[in-house]
A and B are shown apart, each in its own frame.
Chain A
Amino acid sequence: MEDIITVEHLSKSYGNLKAVEDFSFSVKKGTVFGLLGANGAGKSTTIECVLGTKKADWGVVSVLGMDPNVNRKELFEQVGVQFQEAHYQENIKVNELCEVTASLYKSSADYKQLLTNFGIPDKGGTLVRELSGGQKQRLFIVLALIPNPKVVFLDELTTGLDARARRDVWQILIRLKADGLTILLTSHFMDEVEILCDVICILKMGKLVFYGTVTEAINQSPHDKFEDAYLWFTDERSAYNESL
């Protein structure tokens, strides 16, 4: 299968802090890749370096066979990005934000259909800031899908969603994946990762500590549940046990 994203020897420091150190991975077409790790482990920095919004100190990045720093215009016709925080104008309405987003691409999906698919069809005239947390999160996934992308980056995909909404989002992503969409996501919910991700990387303080499938992660750890295995890899076992 064709590699959609390849990253080789990515390193990025902020002053003395090594945010990401010699990180290599690749994402195959039509798969879901999960980037895991505690807050500050280097997930967002990795995504930003892959997208070219941050400049890596070292390393080679290729997305859809293009260098995000060189073929920006061409590449971002085919890439959807959902950021961790909401980046929108103060008094903008849902329809307006979708319309502007659609206008940025040569071809775009019907955003009204996407809003319907994500269960917020009647929110077009609402101010974005007046949406609930879950509705906002769904809107931001819609925005990432508007370009009819070949690959999407979803940062903390379902944070703020209730149980029902999370499952709805999963179903939609599974369908999109079946249609050939490649997805790179970060998440703090291990149930979600188990259901969605074909391959995962676990980062700990900027370093890769695990790269493989969920099953392999469980097998390499002394545990039989993925969440326990994840915590074992990130070395938060003691804190985890104390909290129990």
Chain B
Amino acid sequence: MHNYLQIENAKMVFDTKQGRFTALTDINLTVKQGEFITLIGHSGCGKSTLMNLVAGLNEATDGVLLLAEKEIRGPGPERAVVFQNHSLLPWLTCFGNVHLAVERVFGGHESKARLKERTQAALELVGLGHAMHKHPNEISGGMKQRVGIARALAMEPKVLLMDEPFGALDALTRAGLQDELMRIVRETGATVIMVTHDVDEAVLLSDRIVMMTNGPSATIGEILEVTLPRPRDRLLLADNPDYHHLRGQVMAFLYQKQRRLEKAA
């Protein structure tokens, strides 16, 4: 489906103690089904705010957001979120955490055995079939984040929203999870919007990179098509001139154009 997710003239204004603060303005973006989009920009540029608008956790002050031709009003399981700090419930096992989501989405019309199957399948998809009955405090940070991804995917969302999902992990774990995410997206055909501040991550994973200007009143500065063929291999990309060219473009946006703007502001 073309223009699966449509954002038109979205604007976000927060009422703070210091007065009205315009976080985002004039946001126009369309996302195709099965596309992988990353939002990149400096801290405070409103990329998480934009993602929260799509998630429905914040409501846009102005403008329209449509998903599959329906207006986004409030949060819902068809827009699953992988939170930065995993947000697993510590009193439930990995299985319990994923099952809570599965039960909510499919509980109305599927048998208990089927719900259990779905939960197990989601955990196996992220390679955690063996840790199913552990509690979050018994597993590593990378594993927790994988449970978070399993929970989101198990809902079979229309869009998977990821807010700096690997930001808190060490570089090696992060690389492993990026590879795994690429595999999962290939297998499931998921539509993904991911917030990141990591240039390499953006180029490696994305079909398009949405680069945002600095706030306040942040907006979309440039959109970069990543034409690298899939499946992508991080080792092969290291010698790929296209990869370096794309990477250079993102760096140029972030460290030349946006830095200058920051000084002017």
Q: Report if A and B associate in a common complex.
A: no
User: Measuring CB to CB, which residues of chain B are less than 8 angstroms from any residue of chain A?
Assistant: none
User: Measuring CB to CB, which residues of chain A are less than 8 angstroms from any residue of chain B?
Assistant: none
